[in-house]
Structure 1
Amino acid sequence: MRRLLLALPFALLPLAAVQAHEHDHDHDSLGAHEHGVARLNAALDGNVLELELESPAMNLAGFEHAASSHADKAKVAAVRAELESPLALFALPEEAGCKVASQELESPLFGADDHHDEHAKGHENEHSEVHAHYRIECSAPDALKSLDLAGLFKRFPATEKIQVQLIGPNGQQGAELSKSNATLSF
């Protein structure tokens, strides 16, 4: 089971790599960056749920360049505000009593306060990603029966698919969620 799961992301690579190649000839990509597709790693350990979301900036903001116009800056600020409210994006059962213990957002899109900024300067035309890492503490983790991403799909409609790797009490599982299939059971 575990070996099959580890092979899962690679099974999706050939198509993504072809699309990435057509999209950007001079960018040597393994297909990890595909518009419309985000990745979510989720791990429940005791009463702590760790969530790590990686998405092309295009899925969230609609563009990938550093924001310079007022409209772009406003859009980036709005995206950041949405990402700073993870409990609205990842619906968790109320009875689980979950609260956000810590969160980290990282992206060249967010500008100068980002420690990847130096790297981004030399690669203006590269795809920019948004990384969000959340640590959520739940007082009744046994009530965490599912993870519902409907809120995320609703707020970021350009996100068509989310490839989820989940490690929970029943071991590891992988799934590809979409707007019409936005829930994964633990």
Structure 2
Amino acid sequence: MRRLLLALPFALLPLAVAHAAVEHDHDHEHEHGSLGAHEHGVGRLNASLDGQTLELELDSPAMNLVGFEHPATSDADKAKVAAVRAKLEKPATLVNLADAKCTLEQQELESPLFGDEPDHEDHDEEADGDEHHHEHSEIHARYQFRCVAPSALTHLDLASLFKVFPATRKILVQMIGPNGQQGAELTPEAPALKF
């Protein structure tokens, strides 16, 4: 199943290229040099439904979920990080899967804010030493569900995720389901995608 999720970005590469062409003038793209630009307010979700197995992989700037990207040093910041992690550890409250009778089998949460090693592909420091300007912490969440009634899963509904994390204004979704592959931009006003 993991092979299917890993193949998803390549299967939908034409959509990503078209989206990148539209967003080409975004400030962060020249800094990152890739299609996966770090953009506050925007997250990415890969979804795959294969038989009874549903896999979700969410990547988001920490700013969207926590409200900051710097290391949590104060008690208030540490409490925010802990609260966000607790919410991410309950994905059924973020994505509506009730009708499909899905149970969480595996999950992985990764972020420098959670104490994981930061990606070392970060930006070079400016000559003036202002490294705070260049911090871009990401939060990665991967979930695998076993769904007893996968045919009841007709929509991927992220309305709860947008409510829980209101700084998230758009989620770019790439999905493989029973009806093939598709991509969409979900927003709080249009939070669902049909499988």
TM-score of the pair, normalised by structure 1: 0.86
Instruction: Tell me if the contact between 2:44 and 2:173 (Cα under 8 Å) persists in the aligned partners.
Output: yes
TM-score of the pair, normalised by structure 2: 0.82
The alignment covers a number of residue pairs equal to 177
Instruction: Tell me if the contact between 2:174 and 2:181 (Cα under 8 Å) persists in the aligned partners.
Output: yes
Q: 1-side partners of 2:32 and 2:123: how far apart? A: 16
- In the alignment, structure 2 segments of 5+ residues that lack a partner are 1-9, 125-130
Give yes or no for the alignment of 1:60 onto 2:65.
Answer: yes
- In the alignment, structure 1 segments of 5+ residues that lack a partner are none
Per-residue deviation, 1:61: 0.6
- When structure 1 is superposed on structure 2, of 54-63 and 28-37 the one drifting more is 28-37
Which residue does the alignment assign to 2:108?
104
Which residue does the alignment assign to 1:9?
16
SS at match of 1:8: helix
SS at match of 2:34: coil
- Deviation string 1:103-156 (CA, Å, 9 cap, x unpaired) is 000001112xx2x24849997633111100000111111111111100100011
Instruction: Tell me if the contact between 1:101 and 1:137 (Cα under 8 Å) persists in the aligned partners.
Output: yes
Give yes or no for the alignment of 1:181 onto 2:190.
Answer: yes
Q: 2-side partners of 1:35 and 1:46: how far apart? A: 34
Instruction: Tell me if the contact between 2:113 and 2:137 (Cα under 8 Å) persists in the aligned partners.
Output: yes
Instruction: Tell me if the contact between 2:28 and 2:38 (Cα under 8 Å) persists in the aligned partners.
Output: no
Per-residue deviation, 1:96: 1.3
Aligned 1:28-39 pairs, distance under 5 A? 28-30=32-34, 32-39=37-44
Identity percentage of aligned residues: 60
Instruction: Tell me if the contact between 1:67 and 1:76 (Cα under 8 Å) persists in the aligned partners.
Output: yes
Which residue does the alignment assign to 2:128?
none
Residue 102 to residue 21, structure 1, CA distance change in 2 (3 Å): closer
